[in-house]
Amino acid sequence: QVQLVESGGGLVQAGGSLRLSCAASGSIFSINSMGWYRQAPGKQRELVAAWTSGGSTNYADSVKGRFTISRDNAKNTVYLQMNSLKPEDTAVYYCSVEVTPSSLTGLIHYWGKGTLVTVSS
């Protein structure tokens, strides 16, 4: 079992910045990927940014140039630096991780409970 602890959400003015953090703990043999999704009111959940063990990153077109995902391997923690925030970025942001619990098991996907980001006009 893996636990994800998210932090960093809150209220910010348009043009401001926030940094989200997500720390993974528990039965982790290795991490395949970590990332962030978001879900705005009345909309479906969408990928914001992701990092994979191969070193690649993936960003939604709407956040490219403004958001940056990074990882602290020693702490099993992923960060999302969000700059130049817009009201359209308002959403619940969910951390996700794909892990291998042991050397004999396949990948398992876990979700955090979410943290609310509100960007005012």
C-beta of residue 9 within 8 angstroms of C-beta of residue 116: yes
What is the full per-residue pLDDT of the chain (121 aa) written as tens digits? 899 999 999 999 999 999 999 999 998 888 999 999 999 989 999 999 999 888 899 999 999 999 999 999 889 999 999 999 999 999 999 999 999 888 888 889 999 999 999 999 9
Identify how many contiguous H helices and E strands the chain contains and give both numbers. 0, 11
**Structure-token pair, residue 80:** 């999302």
Q: Which residue has the tokens 């996907």?
A: 109
